[in-house]
């Protein structure tokens, strides 16, 4: 009985001490840069310490990015929280706002970053390396910066397509409404995946923002859909296995899968949409100098080339060549995609879609 | 009440248990449920998008629970009553479906039985659309029968052989004994099994998400809301609906139990063997269990094969390259093992102790504590995780180690099964046994420790095993909590799956599952002799 009480008193004391320490830490150390670094005469102290990076990028890219950053900015250690689902990372950052644990949020469509920025959960920062980036690929308020483009395309299972659909591969989104596709298509869920929503928004823009026509399209498309998987890679895996015939999905991911399974094909219909992969600093970061150094590095040519090589995506930098065989913004026919509008109307459109298809 | 006042240590124990339940089950959930505010609730409820998922959830719960409990009962009966061969093998098989990390196993079902499934298409030339209600029903039946099996086997093994022998001697046939003696005596266990299975089916997110097609249930809807709209409001409302359904199940279970007594372990010891079951029953049991085992082995076999081939199923060239991921991510395997074992030990003991306080207590408010201890089963893991991320991610709690927090979340999220087993077990033990101890001068707590716990080895085992396997396989609880130092295997698997690295993901899953099985076997071997860890073996 007494040991129990002792332990409880100890816990109380321990938490009280921690409380004092936490408050003290918050007021006395706004810049945790060690005094050694601050003492260097160069004016801009070298960033040191650790930063925590919440990354929605794939494993290989994460590893190579950490390696590259370490070479460029020695002295900063990265704690990586990898979760290839930007929506979960966004939710996590939101849930942690009382005591933020992330310094950097990288990867995922800019709409995920934009949402956090509008809620005041991001630290605005305009990197000197962002000056060369086109203005539609970065936030005017500096909350996030784009570092890659992802283009939306269609994956088809060649064998099943030839046997069950026939003819040329789809060249327009309307081709997917053919009754031959009934129950043979999948689409990453518009609710949980960035791509699923970009698919809806693309239809809206394609019909000149006539939402009735767009929802009518989504309804007809729905008749051909067997499932809306929770993540984009699931949709690619299902088509790659031949469980289903086709899926609208990311061109770069389809190419990565094609490298392993030649039995699939990529086609890009005219009037397609695209994503901008973003990177941002989370408000409350305890190591801003290092976080800024990370953003600066991600926007370098070197990091851009790494990303292109590892993921087939298109760099936002004009001086980075695209991956061999990968489509670029210039090589495809894009819809007039208004990112701000798409981001601002996301919840409303997805709900309208849910009602239209009855999900 | 009087006994509580007479025994302050018991009162203190009750206060501690209640305090822990309030801190680690109720408080985090309140943080989530309080997010929307009344306006948020009204707004969401009037949108009406929850009606269809609610209907679907009820349909699926009724169907899957029925088949899972039936299968669980057959399996438990075969294991406890018949003399079929190969019981150690079937015991491991009966745990395997619990050890299915999200994504990978349901994906294996699609690989095997999908429109281009290896079995359905390549063997039988069929192209069934298994996505939808029937897919969920089938997969959930396999996934959840182990819960029912464990709980029922625990109860069956404690039923009194003398009553059955007596019935046989009085001229009853085997079927009549089963119907009029065995079945009625297992009612509390069956009730607990049905309730637990139903609540877990209701809460299940992973299977409907992967195999549900266009069939939305409440957990998949809540997940979509939270991860798509970052809509804690809608998600909280859906979560509230789930909790209300669970409450409904709980109330009906209490009705079902009635006020009857189910004592099968009385003060007088007996070591009489069970009456033999007819040979034909044993053979049927063996056939049924073998068929089930074959199906389960097929699923896990798929994982093993794809872990060792270049690109399953398109390129079946043998390779060991995927095994490299096991070494590269050994930290997450080690964390999984540590968190799982610690959580399982604490959860099993805590659940048993709480079961003792509730079942043997006469104090007011124990029904409330009873429900609170079952409630976590109805909380989708995602909410449990978000609740913890919101409640315990405060500046003044930053000293708290994340690994410890993850472990705590696993302890309390997984309490229901162990707790249900403990309560069902205690109800079969005559109170005269407790009274014998107390009249010999032992305190109630001492009586619990020295007399009841040794008799409840089976329940302890159920609590340990289910907590461990669920801790090892949960993704949704940890997804908002893990840090680089406290990463776990399911996070790694999720990451590999989303990296199009099916080979790596299956290799890692096989490593995770094998590690868990070995850990369970070691614990069973160490535990035998000390406590009757394998009461279900009887």
Lowest model confidence (mean pLDDT) among A2-16, A27-41, A334-348: A27-41
* pLDDT for residue A5: 42
Q: Alpha helices, DSSP H only, in B414-501?
A: 415-427, 431-439, 444-447, 453-455, 457-473, 489-498
Cβ within 8 Å of residue A282, ≥6 positions away: A54, A93, A100, A102, A103, A104, A105, A116, A121, A122, A123
Mean pLDDT of chain A: 86
* pLDDT for residue B61: 94
Q: Which of A81, A99, A192 sits opposite B395 (nearest CB)?
A: A99
Contact in structure between B468 and B516 (CB atoms under 8 Å): yes
Provide the shortest C-alpha distance from residue A43 to chain B (in Å): 32
Beta strand pairing call for A246-250 and A144-157 = antiparallel
Phi, psi (rounded to 5 degrees) for B42:
-60, -45
**Per residue in A292-316, pLDDT tens?**
999 999 999 999 999 999 999 999 9
Report cis status (omega within 30 of 0) of the bond before B313.
Answer: yes
Q: Is B9 on the interface with A (CB under 8 A)?
A: yes
Q: Which tokens go with B185?
A: 């005596």
**CA–CA separation, A189 vs A199, rounded Å?**
10
**CA–CA separation, B495 vs B365, rounded Å?**
45
* pLDDT for residue B530: 42
Cβ within 8 Å of residue A272, ≥6 positions away: A151, A152, A153, A173, A202, A332, A333, A334, A335
| pLDDT at A80 exceeding the cut of 50 | yes
Q: Which residue has the higher pLDDT, A258 or B315?
A: A258
**Per residue in B160-177, pLDDT tens?**
778 888 888 888 888 888
DSSP letter at A358?
T
DSSP letter at B449?
I
- Tell me the β-bridge partners of A109: A277
| pLDDT at A21 exceeding the cut of 80 | no
Q: Which tokens go with B453?
A: 């716990």
Q: Which residue has the higher pLDDT, B156 or A321?
A: A321
Helix axes B104-113, B502-527, angle to 10 degrees: 120
- A·B CB contacts under 8 A: 162
- Its sign, for the CA torsion B227, B231, B232, B234, is negative
* pLDDT for residue B264: 64
Instruction: Name the band, by pLDDT with cuts 50, 70 and 90, for residue A2.
Output: very low
Contact in structure between A56 and A89 (CB atoms under 8 Å): yes
Q: Which tokens go with A20?
A: 């004092």
Q: Which tokens go with B6?
A: 């007479």
| pLDDT at B405 exceeding the cut of 80 | yes
* pLDDT for residue B447: 82
Q: Which residue has the higher pLDDT, B483 or B538?
A: B483
**Which of A41, A64, A273, A297 lies closest to A150, judged by CA?**
A273
Cβ distance A15 to B399 less than 8 Å, yes or no, reads yes
| pLDDT at A42 exceeding the cut of 90 | no
Q: Which residue has the higher pLDDT, A13 or A172?
A: A172
Q: What is the mean pLDDT of residues B492-500?
A: 81
- Please tell me the number of Cα atoms within 13 Å of B442 on its side-chain side: 16
For B202-259, give the secondary structure using H, E and C: HHCCHHHHHHCCCCCCHHHHHHHHHHHCCCHHHHHHHHHHHHHHHHHHHHHHHHHHCC
Which positions in chain B touch A20 (Cβ < 8 Å)? Answer: none
- Please tell me the number of Cα atoms within 13 Å of A9 on its side-chain side: 6
**Per residue in A273-295, pLDDT tens?**
999 999 999 999 999 999 999 99
**CA–CA separation, B276 vs B285, rounded Å?**
14
* pLDDT for residue B230: 64
Cβ within 8 Å of residue B510, ≥6 positions away: B300, B303, B304, B307
Q: What angle do CA B487, B491, B497 make, to 5 degrees?
A: 145
User: Whats the size of chain B, residue-wise?
Assistant: 538
Q: Which tokens go with B263?
A: 């004592």
- Cβ within 8 Å of B, A 86-115: 87-88, 90-92, 94-96, 98-99, 101, 115
**Which of A121, A129, A120, A118 lies closest to A105, judged by CA?**
A121
| For chain B, percent of residues with pLDDT exceeding 70 | 92
Q: Which tokens go with B109?
A: 């079902």
Instruction: Name the band, by pLDDT with cuts 50, 70 and 90, for residue B325.
Output: confident
Cβ distance B483 to A263 less than 8 Å, yes or no, reads no
- Tell me the β-bridge partners of A266: A155
Q: Is B48 on the interface with A (CB under 8 A)?
A: no
**CA–CA separation, B57 vs B306, rounded Å?**
33
Which positions in chain B touch A230 (Cβ < 8 Å)? Answer: 209-210, 223-224
Question: Does this complex have an ipTM over 0.90?
Answer: no
Cβ within 8 Å of residue A91, ≥6 positions away: B226, B227, B230, B386, B480
| For chain B, percent of residues with pLDDT exceeding 90 | 21
Cβ within 8 Å of residue B444, ≥6 positions away: B3, B7, B10, B360, B434, B438
Q: Which residue has the higher pLDDT, B253 or B518?
A: B518
Contact in structure between B188 and B428 (CB atoms under 8 Å): yes
Q: What is the pTM of this model?
A: 0.81
Please name the residue of chain B whose CA is at the shortest distance from the CA of residue A160.
B116
| pLDDT at A264 exceeding the cut of 90 | yes
| pLDDT at A272 exceeding the cut of 90 | yes
Q: Which tokens go with B17?
A: 């248990």
**Per residue in B430-441, pLDDT tens?**
888 888 888 888
Q: Is A261 on the interface with B (CB under 8 A)?
A: yes
| pLDDT at B215 exceeding the cut of 70 | yes
* pLDDT for residue B262: 62
Which positions in chain A touch B8 (Cβ < 8 Å)? Answer: 1
Q: What is the mean pLDDT of residues B210-216?
A: 84
| pLDDT at B533 exceeding the cut of 80 | no
Contact in structure between A187 and A105 (CB atoms under 8 Å): no
**CA–CA separation, A32 vs A29, rounded Å?**
6
* pLDDT for residue A105: 97
Instruction: Name the band, by pLDDT with cuts 50, 70 and 90, for residue B3.
Output: low
Cβ distance A351 to B47 less than 8 Å, yes or no, reads yes
Q: Which residues of A129-168 are buried (b: 16+ CB within 10 A; e: fewer)?
A: bbeebeeebbbeebbbbbbbbbbbbbbbbeebbeeebeee
- Its sign, for the CA torsion A339, A341, A344, A346, is negative
- Its sign, for the CA torsion A138, A143, A147, A152, is negative
- Its sign, for the CA torsion B294, B472, B140, B524, is positive
Place of tokens 């509580």: B4
| pLDDT at A261 exceeding the cut of 70 | yes
Q: Which of A94, A160, A263 sits opposite B230 (nearest CB)?
A: A94
Instruction: Name the band, by pLDDT with cuts 50, 70 and 90, for residue B404.
Output: very high
* pLDDT for residue A39: 36
| Long-range contacts formed by A256-262: CB under 8 A, 24+ apart | A256/A311, A256/A312, A256/B500, A257/A155, A257/B500, A260/B311, A260/B500, A261/B311, A261/B314, A261/B315
* pLDDT for residue B528: 64
Provide the shortest C-alpha distance from residue B311 to chain A (in Å): 7
Q: What is the DSSP string of A199-220?
A: HHHHHHHHTTT-HHHHHHHHHH
Q: Which tokens go with A183?
A: 């129950």
**Burial status of residue B214 (CB atoms within 10 A of its CB: 0-12, 13-18, 19 or more):** middle
Cβ within 8 Å of residue B499, ≥6 positions away: A58, A59, A60, A84, A233
**Per residue in B61-103, pLDDT tens?**
999 999 999 999 999 999 988 888 888 899 888 888 888 776 6
Q: Is A85 on the interface with B (CB under 8 A)?
A: yes
Q: Is B12 on the interface with A (CB under 8 A)?
A: yes
Q: Which tokens go with A231?
A: 């993540």
- Cβ within 8 Å of A, B 104-123: 107, 110-111, 114-117
Lowest model confidence (mean pLDDT) among A274-288, B14-28, B145-159, B276-290: B145-159
**CA–CA separation, B521 vs B246, rounded Å?**
33
Q: Alpha helices, DSSP H only, in chain A?
A: 2-28, 35-38, 59-72, 86-95, 110-118, 158-164, 194-206, 211-222, 232-241, 251-260, 288-298, 301-311, 339-344, 346-357
Q: What is the mean pLDDT of residues A136-159?
A: 94
| pLDDT at B16 exceeding the cut of 50 | yes
For chain A, how far is it from start to end, CA to CA, in angstroms? 55
Q: CA Rg, chain A, in Å?
A: 23
| pLDDT at B400 exceeding the cut of 70 | yes
Q: What is the mean pLDDT of residues B359-385?
A: 84
| pLDDT at B43 exceeding the cut of 80 | no
Q: What is the mean pLDDT of residues B36-57?
A: 81
* pLDDT for residue B259: 56
**CA–CA separation, B260 vs B188, rounded Å?**
9
User: Whats the size of chain A, residue-wise?
Assistant: 359
Q: Which of A19, A60, A95 sits opposite B393 (nearest CB)?
A: A95
Please name the residue of chain B whose CA is at the shortest distance from the CA of residue A56.
B495
Which positions in chain B touch A354 (Cβ < 8 Å)? Answer: 49
* pLDDT for residue B183: 82
* pLDDT for residue B229: 65
| pLDDT at A38 exceeding the cut of 60 | no
| Long-range contacts formed by B174-179: CB under 8 A, 24+ apart | B174/B275, B174/B277, B174/B278, B174/B281, B177/B275
**CA–CA separation, B152 vs B130, rounded Å?**
30
Q: Which residue has the higher pLDDT, B341 or A13?
A: B341
**CA–CA separation, A205 vs A334, rounded Å?**
10
| pLDDT at B532 exceeding the cut of 80 | no
**CA–CA separation, A247 vs A264, rounded Å?**
11
* pLDDT for residue B73: 92
Which positions in chain A touch B499 (Cβ < 8 Å)? Answer: 58-60, 84, 233
Contact in structure between B80 and B156 (CB atoms under 8 Å): yes
* pLDDT for residue B68: 95
Mean pLDDT of chain B: 83
């Amino acid at each position: 009985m007494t040991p129990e009480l002792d332990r409880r008193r100890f816990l109380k004391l321990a938490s009280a001490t921690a409380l004092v320490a936490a408050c003290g830490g918050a007021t006395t150390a706004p810049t945790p840069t060690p005094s050694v670094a601050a003492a260097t005469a160069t004016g801009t102290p070298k960033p040191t310490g650790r930063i925590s990076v919440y990354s929605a990028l794939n494993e290989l890219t994460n590893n190579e990015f950490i390696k590259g950053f370490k070479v460029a900015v020695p002295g900063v250690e990265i704690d990586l929280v990898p979760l290839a689902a930007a929506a979960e990372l966004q939710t996590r950052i939101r849930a942690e706002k009382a005591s933020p644990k992330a310094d950097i949020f990288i990867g995922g469509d800019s709409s995920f970053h934009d949402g956090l920025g509008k809620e005041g959960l991001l630290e605005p920062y305009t990197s000197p390396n962002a000056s060369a980036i086109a203005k539609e690929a970065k936030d005017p308020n500096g909350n996030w910066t784009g570092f890659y483009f992802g283009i939306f395309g269609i994956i088809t299972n060649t064998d099943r397509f030839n046997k069950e659909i026939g003819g040329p591969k789809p060249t327009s989104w309307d081709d997917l409404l053919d009754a031959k596709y009934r129950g043979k298509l999948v689409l990453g869920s518009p609710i949980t995946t960035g791509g699923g929503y970009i698919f809806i928004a693309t239809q809206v823009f394609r019909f000149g923002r006539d939402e009735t026509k767009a929802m009518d399209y989504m309804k007809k498309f729905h008749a051909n859909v067997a499932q809306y998987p929770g993540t984009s890679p699931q949709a690619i895996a299902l088509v790659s296995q031949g469980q289903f015939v086709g899926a609208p999905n990311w061109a770069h991911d389809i190419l990565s899968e094609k490298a392993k399974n030649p039995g699939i094909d990529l086609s890009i219909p005219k009037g397609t949409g695209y994503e901008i992969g973003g990177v941002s600093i989370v408000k409350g970061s305890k190591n801003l100098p290092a976080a800024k150094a990370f953003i600066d590095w991600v926007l370098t040519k070197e990091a851009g080339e790494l990303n292109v090589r590892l993921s087939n995506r298109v760099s936002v930098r004009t001086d980075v060549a695209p991956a061999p065989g990968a489509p670029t913004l210039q090589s495809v026919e894009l819809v007039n995609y208004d990112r701000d509008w798409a981001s601002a109307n996301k919840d409303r459109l997805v709900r309208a879609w849910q009602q239209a298809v009855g999900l | 009440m009087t006994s509580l006042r007479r025994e302050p240590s018991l009162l203190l124990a009750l206060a501690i248990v209640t305090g822990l339940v309030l801190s680690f089950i109720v408080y985090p959930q309140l943080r989530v449920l309080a997010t929307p505010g009344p306006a948020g609730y009204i707004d969401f409820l009037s949108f009406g998008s929850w009606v269809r998922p609610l209907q679907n959830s009820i349909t699926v719960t009724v169907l899957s629970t029925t088949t899972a409990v039936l299968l669980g009962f057959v399996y438990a009966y075969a294991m406890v009553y018949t003399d079929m061969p190969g019981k150690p093998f079937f015991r491991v098989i009966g745990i395997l479906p619990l050890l299915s990390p999200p994504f990978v196993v349901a994906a294996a079902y699609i690989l095997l039985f999908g429109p281009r499934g290896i079995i359905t298409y390549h063997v039988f030339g069929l192209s069934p659309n298994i996505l939808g209600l029937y897919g969920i029903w089938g997969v959930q039946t396999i996934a959840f029968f182990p819960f029912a099996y464990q709980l029922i086997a625990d109860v069956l093994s404690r039923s009194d052989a003398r009553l059955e022998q007596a019935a046989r001697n009085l001229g009853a046939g085997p079927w009549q004994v089963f119907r009029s003696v065995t079945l009625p005596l297992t009612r509390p266990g069956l009730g607990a099994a049905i309730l637990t299975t139903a609540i877990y089916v209701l809460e299940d997110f992973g299977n409907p998400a992967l195999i549900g097609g266009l069939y939305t249930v409440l957990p998949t809807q809540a997940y979509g809301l939270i991860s798509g709209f970052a809509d804690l409001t809608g998600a909280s409302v859906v979560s509230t609906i789930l909790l209300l359904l669970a409450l409904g199940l709980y109330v009906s279970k209490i009705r079902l139990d009635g006020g009857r007594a189910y004592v099968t372990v009385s003060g007088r010891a007996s070591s009489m063997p069970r009456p033999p079951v007819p040979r034909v029953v044993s053979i049927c049991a063996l056939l049924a269990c073998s068929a089930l085992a074959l199906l389960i082995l097929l699923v896990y076999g798929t994982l093993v094969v794809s872990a060792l081939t270049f690109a399953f199923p398109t390129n079946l060239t043998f390779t060991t390259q995927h095994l490299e991921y096991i070494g590269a991510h050994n930290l997450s395997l080690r964390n999984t093992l540590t968190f799982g074992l610690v959580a399982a030990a604490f959860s099993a003991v805590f659940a048993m102790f709480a079961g003792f306080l509730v079942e043997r207590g006469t104090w007011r408010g124990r029904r409330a504590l009873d429900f609170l201890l079952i409630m976590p089963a109805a909380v989708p893991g995602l909410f449990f995780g978000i609740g913890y991320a919101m409640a315990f991610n405060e500046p003044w709690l930053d000293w708290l180690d994340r690994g410890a927090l993850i472990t705590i979340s696993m302890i309390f999220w997984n309490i229901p099964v162990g707790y249900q087993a403990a309560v069902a077990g205690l109800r079969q033990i005559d109170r005269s046994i407790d009274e014998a101890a107390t009249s010999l001068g032992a305190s109630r707590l001492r009586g619990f420790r020295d007399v009841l716990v040794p008799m409840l080895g089976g329940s302890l085992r159920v609590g340990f095993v289910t907590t461990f396997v669920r801790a090892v396989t949960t993704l949704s609880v940890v997804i908002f909590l893990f840090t680089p130092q406290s990463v776990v295997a399911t996070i790694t698997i999720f990451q590999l799956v989303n990296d199009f690295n099916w080979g790596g993901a299956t290799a890692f899953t096989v490593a995770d599952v094998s590690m868990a099985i070995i850990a369970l076997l070691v614990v069973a071997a160490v535990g035998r002799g000390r406590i009757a860890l394998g009461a279900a073996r009887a």
